[in-house]
Structure 1
Amino acid sequence: MVQGDEAAVARETEAEAAANVRAVLQLCAAGKLRASEKTQRPAAATVAVVASPMAGGDFYDAEPIAAFAWPLLLQAGGLAELAGGRLQLTARGRTALSKPAAATIKDLWRRWISGGVIDEFSRVEEIKGQRIKNVLTAAKPRRQKVAAALALCEPGEWVEVDDLFAVMRRNGLDPLIARTERGLWRLYLVDPEYGSLGYAGFADWPILEGRYTLAVLFEYAATLGLVDVRYEEPEGARSDYHRNWGADDLKRLSRYDGLRAVRLNALGAYVLGMSPAYEPAPVAVEQVLKVLPNFDVVVTGGLAAVDRLTLDGYAARTSDRVWTLSRKAVKSLGYVF
């Protein structure tokens, strides 16, 4: 993470996403992830568990974005399923543990675009009335519009989100939110009558379609490592809703308001089919483990949180830096006594 212009932070996501997909799969394999049987959304405790080993941490310390998205992505991708409120790996999920991360991420994005578990707009909680029947359009065509807009970006080039909004509108890529004009009147800020978005100018493109686009980009495209992001704190980041009734008391319209720009990276170009292959950047190799004759595994250097999770899956931790492999685990790794 490096400081950008003033308060903004520029963050590269490729390597982080590759590590994080493996970490979340390991957490799921260990039975540490729970979600609602009704909504499939992760429990608050699960969000905290996911955030703990994430490479680079979540985008904000106190505002879950990636940690909220990962359990949903696993479910949408068929890598995990709910059983008694707990997520467990499917056969596809177990296979993904040994596959290249880029291939898994490509499949997760494709499956999210075609069948995301939630409507991303539901995470823009300040806009009320969404649960009223026949108010919102279907989410799948909206996701497809955002994905198509990403494919118009030049890999390696930063694009301000407002410029991306303009490109989407010019190319007819409008992720229309309200099903009808009547539905638009049902959406509101603060008060269903005075704060209705049906009033002229109260539902401008950035407020509805723009906020939806920010949600997909920040919570799913950036989490999966398709785009690098430049962002700041969401409070006070955008003023496009300020003239709406009741907006005086709102410091932000969504948790995604701080997203300022995106940059399609090499992983994103591969996932979107713009590049035939993906070659991850080389990673420096450092020996951090030593296996003793008695099958104790000793940590001798800095061990990433995801690797600690992997060790926990094969061995019993006897101290902060020592694990003991069981005979069963040793045999599963191909050793013969």
Structure 2
Amino acid sequence: MSDLHDAISLETVDTLKKNYSTFFGVKPKQIRKAWLVKELFEGLSDRSFLRAYLKKLPDLELTFVRECVFNYHGLVDRSRFKAKYGKFPEKPSRYSFVSYHELAECFEPFFYPFDRYGPAHIPGELIFTLKQLVNEPEPYILSPCTLPEPLPEHNVLFERERSVMSELHSLLVLFQGKQVKVSEKTGAPSSATLKKVSKEIHEYYQEPCDQADGMEFIATYGWLRLLGNSKYSKQSKSTLVPARKIDKSSADTIKDMWDQWVCNSTHDEFRRINKIKGQNGKGKRFFTDVRERRHVIIESLKECKGKSWVSFDDFSRYMFITGACLEVTTEPEYLYIYGSDYGEFYSGSWDKLEARYLRCFLVEYAATLGLIDVVMAPPNSDDSYYDDYGDMECLSRYDGLRYFRLTSLGEYALGLTGHYKSQESSPSKTPMSIHRQGRIVFDKNPTSWEQRFLSLYADQGKGNVWNLSRKKIMEALQVGGSVDELQTFLQDREDQPFLPEDCESILKQTKANLDGVKIQSEALVISCKNQEIVELIINDKVLSKWCQRLGNLQIVLPKSKEKQLRENLNAMGIGCH
């Protein structure tokens, strides 16, 4: 049986009579349902008659048919069509106070319910026929834009790709020093940790704001979540520490961290929009798989032309119009602001849910890893959020995203290129002179990037003076830093063709001594009651293989030999507790 015939059969006689008059242009000769169904089915199956009917439709109405057939799966998608074309072909209400308008009458012969209570749609058989008669709509293209010059007031450009490598090294040094404390249960960083780590990060905002709590720690929080989720760290009680030595390039490390985050199902970025309540109540079960959401966004990001700026509003609109399957929750009515007694707050519209999630994902995670550069403004600077229930001026700390561009690192991390060619570390190279003992003097104030990079390997003195530090160089090398990278940085800014001999010596020695000591196992230190017991242990035929003196009355031995130690002491008549 034809699905078109079945769908027509579900309609009432009154509706079928109206559809007959609209489609054939005359009143039906009979009002029996079987006759009406048969006539409409035959008329809608007749390509020549259908082609003539379509030719009579105005341009906007014909465009709507094309969109329904090719892009909307036969359904009516009023919001997407209006977003793309600016208006919608509808039948105006006779009453000015009625805001809802019905679909124009010329479409009614095409639309029938899935079942007696289902939404109206164009049946599959009719879709197939219509595709032979109308052209596919032009694809909606995401167009790049040019940044305003100068940028509007309070808008700031952040070139995240230029900062991410030095930030990664700085954070790994903190991990190495066991200075990063997090919640033992949730892994979330404490306020003290956020303040400490933020000193190593280029943040978007320097001052807190009551309207956007936590806005001064956006990149810091993102880094800690991304690193904490990666294979390069592990949690030891309430401390994050390195899990393995990094033997990859910084770009490959970033790519690994990104891939691991995308596949992580524990943390949902939408939870970071904490002014939206109801996420942990009944509504929790209706949230969609966060991994699927991320992949949908990534597929749209791949459509961005590398190194070309895109307005966030245009990108969000592009995803909406092209039907990106980005859905935060299937039941948005469980979400609210202030208190649940205010009633339903969320209608589930794209701007209220998906666009909010999209901002958080791009700013706190993609931009943090340098996959995109961003232009940020204060979150409450453009009235992008209007609060119906109170005086809230913005909904989240991420509302300030205005523009972004996909970087070379982003193209590599997303798999658009097979290798990463780094941009020049700094757009300008501040001249310097290098003196004995690794003393560096810049001719003028170095750029912020140069300061950030050099701080990984040197201590800053007064003014524009820096001193190479063996300690910092070694710390940086242990978390993926490079002596060659440092040497290139210095030589590019020094007029002399060679570095001073003692400076060369510092670099060669630290590089040679990188693996100078290897920690193999833990040791056990025991304290003896008197010198006589020390001599018995040291001279014992078995224990002497492992034991060494440590001071007058102490002995050190491998921790793995504790059991043999106790057994031999017991045999010697010496107690151990």
TM-score for both structures, normalised by structure 1? 0.81
Partner of 1:166: 317
Distance 2:179 2:241 in 1: 9
User: Which structure would you say has the larger Rg?
Assistant: 2
Q: Could you tell me which residue of structure 2 aligns to residue 129 of structure 1? A: 278
2:328 counterpart of 1:177:
yes
SS in 2 for 1:260: strand
Change (3 A) 1:305 1:117: farther
What pairs up with 1:80-119 in 2 under 5 angstroms?
80-91=233-244, 94-95=245-246, 99-115=248-264, 117-119=266-268
Instruction: Please point out which of 151, 175, 180 is paired with 1:28.
Output: 175
- Given that 1:157 and 1:263 are in contact with CA atoms closer than 8 Å, whether structure 2 keeps it comes out as yes
Quick one: structure 1 residues 304 and 252, their matched pair in 2 at CA, closer, same or farther if it must change by over 3 Å? Answer: same
SS, match of residue 228 in structure 1? strand
**Which secondary structure state, in structure 1, belongs to the residue aligned with residue 263 of structure 2?**
helix
Cα distance in 1 for residues equivalent to 2:431 and 2:229: 35
Any idea what the Cα deviations from partners look like across 1:178-221, whole Å, max 9, x if unmatched?
A: 23x3xx221001121325234xxx43211111000000000011
Amino acid aligned to 1:84: K
> Within 2, Cα distance between the matches of 1:291 and 1:139?
55
1:46 to 183, 193, 199: 193
Output the aligned Cα RMSD.
Answer: 2.9
Residues 1:269 and 2:269 are matched in the alignment? no
2:154 alignment partner in structure 1: 7
Counterpart position of 1:141: 292
| Matching residue's letter, 1:216 | F
What's 1:190 paired with? 338
SS at match of 2:352: helix
Cα deviation, residue 276, structure 1: 2.1
Larger relative contact order (Cα-Cα within 8 Å, sequence gap ≥ 6): 1
After superposition, what is the alpha-carbon deviation per residue over 1:279-327, rounded to whole angstroms, capped at 9, x for unaligned? 11234497787774xxxx6565578456545569xxxxxxx9585769x
Kept in 1, the 8 Å contact 2:169–2:456? The answer is no
Query: Which residue of the partner structure matches residue 65 of structure 1?
Result: 218
* 1:334 maps to which of 503, 512, 517: 512
Find the residue that maps to 1:207 and give its secondary structure. coil
TM-score (norm 2): 0.49
* Aligned residue-pair number: 308
Amino acid of the structure 1 residue aligned with 2:388: W
Shift of 1:236: 3.7
Separation in 2 of the partners of 1:46 and 1:290?
37
Code of the residue aligned with 1:334 in structure 2: it is A
- Structure 2 unpaired stretches of 5+: 1-148, 208-214, 460-465, 476-505, 517-577
Closer, same or farther: CA 139–153 of 1 in aligned 2, 3 Å: same
- SS of the aligned residue for 1:47 comes to helix
Percent pairwise identity: 30
Structure 1 ranges of 4+ moved more than 6 A: 285-291, 328-332
**Match status 1:245 vs 2:388:** yes
Pairwise CA distance, 1:278: 1.6
Secondary structure in structure 1 of the residue aligned to 2:181 = coil
Aligned residue runs from structure 1 range 250-261, under 5 A: 250-261=392-403
Partner deviation per Cα, 1:83-117 (whole Å, 9 max, x = no partner): 020000011xx21xx53221111111111111165
Provide closer, same or farther for how the CA distance between residues 101 and 321 of structure 1 changes in structure 2, counting only shifts above 3 A. Answer: same
Q: Is the 8 A contact 1:36 1:85 kept in 2?
A: yes
Select 2:231's aligned residue among 78, 81, 84.
78
Which residue number in structure 1 is paired with residue 351 of structure 2? 206
- Structure 1: give runs of 5+ residues left out of the alignment: 313-319
Residue aligned with 2:340, SS: coil
Change (3 A) 1:3 1:130: farther
Bigger helix share: 2
